[in-house]
Amino acid sequence: MNSETSRSEAQIDTLAGKVAVVTGATSGIGRAIALELFRRGASVVVHGRRRKQAAEVMRQIRATAGNARAVDVMTELCDLADVSTHETLVGRAWKWRGKVDIWINNAGVDVLTGPQADLSFDEKLHQLWQVDVLATLRLSRLAATRMQSAGGTIINIGWDQAEHGMAGDSGEMFAAVKGAVMAFTRSLARSAAPNVRVNCVAPGWTKTNWGDSASEYWERRAQGESLLGRWGTPEDVARAVVFLASADAAFVNGQTIAVNGGSQPWPVDWDAKTSGRDSL
């Protein structure tokens, strides 16, 4: 048995008996988180807005399970921009198995690709605020209240550049939105302790929809800003989230963990030559 096999087998069922909810779980980072939670033994509530995408995640989970394990997954479809859905989602999640041990606020609005990319700055900011911030705050508070008796953990998704900023419209929007989530995480951790842990994962440049069609400039910048010289993957982020959800992180609370390969400044010579080009 090689070391890689031993490592994989040791990770199996580390979350057995746990019930997890992942918002925005039908694509990108959220889908990777849901799949990784299931691989580690958790029962998973997959939240999304589109039935077709939710069905595809279910297909992937069934393929992961094979014949060795029952598919212990539920899908919940709702638009978190509508605040009236929040209490319903939490209530249905708890009713499914009578508890929720892990709540992950991953849902966010994609304003960089598709029709959303053509919206104005104000329209984009409004949508980001409704889902990335307001829904995260409200769902976290609702979940933390229910978790007080039995304990649990809440994990939010931030952004590694929110604390030092990035130029451009998107940089300004995401810094404000994800910075709010990261600050809220620290405060909720104080409010919910000692029975509930609250942490945040802050991804760096990660190959999701926008990264797949990034220009040469952004390809080079994404790789150049990481000490590891590459883009992150949704699976990189998912593994960090699962660590925070597990007993291995039992003494980690109120923290924001950057998943970016180690951040370094973008080379000045390249930046100066391309100043003003390819702005987001």
- The residue ranking higher by pLDDT, 206 or 146, is 146
On whether the pTM is more than 0.95, the answer is no
Confidence category of residue 1, pLDDT binned at 50, 70, 90: very low
For residue 70, what pLDDT is reported? 64
238 by Cβ neighbours in 10 Å (0-12 / 13-18 / 19+) ranks as buried
Is 279 a domain residue?
no
Is 88 a domain residue?
yes
Average pLDDT over residues 203-212: 83
Segments forming the whole domain that contains residue 144: 14-273
Is 41 a domain residue?
yes
The yes-or-no verdict on residue 272 having pLDDT over 60 is: no
Is 280 a domain residue?
no
Provide the greatest CA pair distance for the chain: 58
260 with 223: CB under 8 angstroms? no
Is 70 a domain residue?
yes
Give the range among 84-93, 159-168, 244-253 with minimum mean pLDDT.
Answer: 159-168
Confidence category of residue 69, pLDDT binned at 50, 70, 90: low
- Which CATH number characterizes residue 96's domain? 3.40.50.720
134 backbone φψ class: left, alpha, beta (φ>0; ψ -120 to 50) = alpha
The total number of structural domains that make up the chain: 1
Is 7 a domain residue?
no
For residue 80, what pLDDT is reported? 97
